[in-house]
Amino acid sequence: MLYGVLCASIAAAGLLWRLTLEGGVGLQRAPVHASAPGAQPPFVGVNIAIDAYAPEQLALRLRQLRAAGFGWVRFHLPWRAMEPAPGQITWDVADRVLEQIVNADLEPVVVLVAAPDWALRELDRSAGVQTGPPADFADFARFAESFAQRYSDRVRYYQIWDEPNIAPNWGHRHINPVEYAQMLRAVAPAIRQADPDAVILAAALAPTVDRGHLAIDEMFYLQRMIAAGAAPFFDVVTIQPFGFGYAATDPRQRSEILNFSRAAQIRRALVDSGLGGKPIWAVRFGWNRMLNSPWGTVTPQAQARYTHDALERAWNEWPWLRAMGWVIDRPAEAPGMPAWGFALTEPAGTPAPVYTALSAWLQTPRPRPDVGKVTIPLVEWAVLWIAMALAAWRGLAAAQIVDWRAGLQRWRCAPWWVHLLAWGGLVIVYYLATFPPLIGLCWLAAVWLCLAQPQVGLWLALALIPFYFQHKELELVNWVLTVPPAHALLMALLPAVMVAIRRNRRSSHSNLYWWELVPVLLLPLTLLSAVNAWNGPAFARGALDLVIAPLAAWLAVRTLTTTPEERSRALWALCVGGMLTAFVGLVNWLRGQGAEVDGIQRLVGPHFSPNHTALYLERSLFVGLAGWALIGKRWRMVVAVALLGMATALVLTGSRGALFLALPVGLATFTGFLLWRRPAFVRWLRMRRRLLLSTMVLLAALLTLNLFWQQERLGNVQTVELRLTLWMAAFALWRDHFWVGVGPGSFFWTYPAYLPVGAVEVDQLHPHSVWLELVTTWGVLGLAWFILCVLALRCAVRNRLHGKTVGFWLAAGACAGLAAGLAHAQSDAFMLLADIAMWNAVAWGLATAPDP
């Protein structure tokens, strides 16, 4: 019953929070000042298709629109029609249209689009795509500058491109907001140089719920533009909040719903990006009355009513929305086509009801409020808080009646097969669960089981580290919470960790050496780096995955493993995670799945990248070698076969960094431990020279076969060139954020602004260099912290070299794995991938924990 009350309270809180957001909370932050460029246009305009009218008809229609109350007209001027050959610009159409617009006392909003064939990329030209961007943005900038020089006395508003977030408006290739930002950075200064009073409109983003290669939703696209440094190069954000059959007053603001309220979602994304002072124009809005419409269908009367309601809502509630444009006056298409459902007149010239509604609204003078209306359900919130307080009060009272210790003790005394059924059933149910209350119930059951058997919970958490992407997704109003399995188990282990800390407070297990606490210093460094993180949700997720969760794993290992046997089991859990990774990768590879690169099929485990899989396997392989030394002789053959499978999977990833950097350094580190601790090991090698020689010949043969298999990949130097470009951008980023970096999770949202035009790797999560990832994420202070970590590890390992056998092998395996990862990280990641960061923290805990 109490759990039902808790679930009901969470659901009620979610609904109330959604109502609060839909009531306008947060939209009024950073108000748009009247002096901002683009903040004072005529409020209502209309789009026109200049090809839909004869010259004399266009002049007459423009005067009619002005008489109806419209203040501006927006239209496309295709670059390809004006400059069919380089340097040969024909101004006739633009001269005529702009003269007619100005004579009608309307404000022109010019949309510059469509590169000519000679300026397109070869791929677009061969595919026959006429809407792609130019291969060289400098050509477009030169044309735009010439246009602005000629029409600076008639044009003030310039929109650069249109709908680049959907295909085929970005050519015959993937949608790329970073490339569009680079276009803005090239074209906007050219226009402003020719026309200092120009107001630059960013491309109008098409409404879509997709986030793939052929379409990207407006919120994500806009934030990626800002990440690429586009903010100084546009004055106005332009959007297209079509109604799609829903009423204008529909308050729902969800990423999966397309409606008029989508304008508020985009405003939130803009405010969250720190650009709330930029005005927004809804350059195209409306509802369609055609039955064959892909934009949804409404009746003509509903179209008129919704349009009136939309104008009223925007005028009274959204002061940041500075202009609204009806979709189209008259489309340049045959009658009966869906676009005619937006037309202000019928094909015969009869005014549509929506035209009458627009004209009537425009003819009525009304003052505009300075602040939009905000509605907060205060009474409902008060009732909810009182109900939750009462439920918590009675829940605590009920909890005191139960004898928890006795229940836990009875569970520990249950047969082993009962424990196996409980843990196995929990894992299966959790894997299949999609209903949030059932997922929460699984978490509560995990807390109970972890309190009774914390070692089992810790073992499972460590073994499931590589399955970060097999997470549970919980929709929480306006964002999605993703919970990986290792994170879920670490949360369930927190009560057990707290109990262990209290139990060990008076024992020798609680003694901490200074080197063990060095990782904790990363937490204040992360808090300092928050000052440079502009994307708050991304920073919060990065801090959780890359700092807090790894530190929680380290704390769990340090407090729950106090004996050599418990620590060896933790070591084996890491090894089992690597074995599972190899198993998943090998099964996929044998089924023909993987990444086709450079003529070979590369193995991919439970990740999205073969290099990511290699980063995990190379670490786990050396931990497995240490585990092989600790295990009993009868199991060594089985473990050897499993390790051979891991090594095979590692080779099949085709990772050059793993093969030529990680494996040699890891083997050297592991061998160094053996030579330091075991002089007899040298004598053993001398006595078995033939075996050693045979092993070396076998390894040489395998290496030769691998080189032959990867000969095309090894000869590919394009990756090196891409890395150099990425490193230069990362170095420039660090130079601007020298001391504390930009914070975890923020590299993806910051480095695109430093990329040169034409850069390929625009969606990287890390800079592919351990030194650059340290300084870009935590600044020079992060680099100092890492050096301190190395010194601390050296101090801890020196004590282990002469310590107990288990401690020695723990240090050998963990240090060899860390050394292999560090070697590979000269050209890849070391700390900025969630599962790798947690593996590092656990290995640190095993290597530095003192012998009991």
* Segment 260-277 mean pLDDT: 93
3-state SS string for 159-184: EECCCCCECCCCCCCCCCHHHHHHHH
Contacts of 675 (CB under 8 A, 6+ apart): 681, 682
Q: How many CA atoms lie within 13 A of 503 on its CB side?
A: 10
Q: Residue 284: enclosing H or E segment and its boundaries?
A: strand 280-285
pTM of the full predicted structure?
Answer: 0.91
From 116, 120, 131, 199, select the one nearest 161 (Cα to Cα).
131
pLDDT at 714 over 80: no
pLDDT tops 60 at residue 688: no
Q: Cα dist. 798→792, 793, 842 in Å?
A: 10, 9, 19
Q: How many CB atoms lie within 10 A of CB 518?
A: 21
672 burial class (0-12, 13-18, 19+ CB within 10 angstroms)? Answer: middle
Q: How far apart are CA 613 and CA 716, in angstroms?
A: 21
pLDDT at residue 808 in the model: 85
Task: Check pLDDT > 70 for residue 605.
Answer: yes
526 pLDDT exceeds 60?
Answer: yes
pLDDT per residue as tens digits for the range 23-78: 777 777 778 888 888 889 999 999 999 999 998 899 999 999 999 999 999 999 99
How far is Cα 820 from Cα 619, in angstroms, rounded to an integer? 6
CB atoms within 10 A of CB 785: 18
CA distances from 104 to 68, 325, 364, 615, 723 (A): 12, 17, 21, 66, 55
User: Would you state the pLDDT for residue 402?
Assistant: 72
Q: Which of 649, 588, 591 is nearest to 620 (CA)?
A: 649
| Tens digits of residue pLDDT in 785-797 | 999 999 999 888 8
Interacting residues of 88 by C-beta distance below 8 A, sequence separation 6+: none
Give the chain's end-to-end CA distance (angstroms, integer). 45
Range 609-626 average pLDDT? 94
User: How far is it, in rounded angstroms, from Cα 189 to Cα 142?
Assistant: 11
Q: Where are the domains of the chain?
A: 1-23+379-402, 35-362, 403-511, 533-848
Nearest to residue 215, comparing CAs of 169, 254, 146?
A: 169
- List, for residues 544-572, the tens digit of each pLDDT value: 999 999 999 999 999 999 888 999 999 99
**Distance (Å, whole) CA 575 – CA 514:** 28
Q: Any idea which residue has 């656990």 for tokens?
A: 842
* Residue whose C-alpha is closest to residue 561's, from 654, 709, 462: 462
Query: Number of helices and strands (H, E) in the chain?
Result: 32, 12
CA dist 311 to 88, 241, 284, 359, Å? 43, 12, 13, 12
Task: Provide the 3-class DSSP secondary structure of residue 544.
Answer: helix
For residues 157 and 110, the answer to whether their CB atoms sit within 8 Å is yes
C-alpha 719/C-alpha 673 separation (Å) is 34
The pLDDT of residue 579: 96
Least confident of 156-165, 641-650, 697-706: 697-706
When comparing pLDDT for 228 and 501, which is higher? 228
In angstroms, what CA-CA distances link 765 with 179, 726, 762, 768, 776?
Answer: 17, 11, 9, 9, 12
Question: pLDDT-derived band of residue 5, with 50, 70 and 90 as boundaries?
Answer: low
| 15 compared with 771, residue with greater pLDDT | 771
Side-chain half-sphere exposure of 287, counting CA atoms within 13 A? 28
Beta strands per DSSP E along 723-791: none
CA distance 208 to 187: 26
- Residue 17: burial class (beta carbons within 10 Å; 0-12, 13-18, 19+): middle
| Confidence at 761, pLDDT banded by 50, 70, 90 | confident
The alpha carbon of 532 is separated from its chain's Cα centroid by a whole number of angstroms, namely: 18
Q: Find where tokens 């190069």 sit.
A: 233
Cα–Cα distance, 463 to 338 (Å, whole number): 56
With a CB cutoff of 8 Å and minimum separation 6, the contacts of 632 are none
Phi, psi of 467 (to 5 degrees): -95, 45
State residue 257's pLDDT score.
92
Residue ranges in 688-769 assigned as alpha helix (H) = 689-709, 711-714, 718-736
Mean pLDDT estimate for the chain: 89
- What contacts 128, CB < 8 A, 6 or more positions away? none
- Alpha carbon 318 to chain centroid, angstroms: 29
Rounded to the nearest 10 degrees, the angle between the axes of helix 663-677 and helix 805-824 is 150
Rg, C-alpha atoms of the chain: 32
- Name which of 82-96, 209-223, 343-357, 667-681 the model is least confident about: 667-681
What distance in Å separates the CA atoms of residue 646 and residue 628, rounded to the nearest whole number? 13
Quick one: pLDDT at residue 209?
Answer: 94
Cα(187)–Cα(190) distance, integer angstroms:
5
Q: Is 598 helix (H, G, I), strand (E, B) or coil?
A: coil
| Mean pLDDT within 626-633 | 83
Mean pLDDT in residue range 82-94? 95
Exposure string over 740-752, b if 16+ CB within 10 A, otherwise e = bbbbbbbbbbbbb
Place of tokens 């477009």: 140
Topology of domain 35-362, per CATH?
A: TIM Barrel (3.20.20)
Contacts of 176 (CB under 8 A, 6+ apart): 170, 762
pLDDT digits (tens, 9 = 90+) for 457-504: 999 999 999 999 999 988 777 677 899 999 999 999 999 999 988 887
Q: What is the pLDDT averaged over residues 268-279?
A: 92
From residue 78, how far is each of 144, 249, 399 by CA, in Å? 11, 36, 72
Mean pLDDT in residue range 836-844: 96
Q: Is the pLDDT of residue 508 over 60?
A: no
Q: Which of the four pLDDT bands, split at 50, 70 and 90, describes residue 819?
A: very high
Percent of the chain's residues with pLDDT above 70:
93
Q: Per the omega criterion (within 30 degrees of 0), is the bond before 168 cis?
A: yes
- Walk across the sheet containing 237-239 and list its strands: 199-201, 157-160, 107-113, 72-78, 44-47, 321-326, 280-285, 237-239
Q: What are the pLDDT digits (tens) for 660-681?
A: 899 999 999 998 888 776 665 6
Query: Which one-letter amino acid corresponds to residue 655?
Result: S
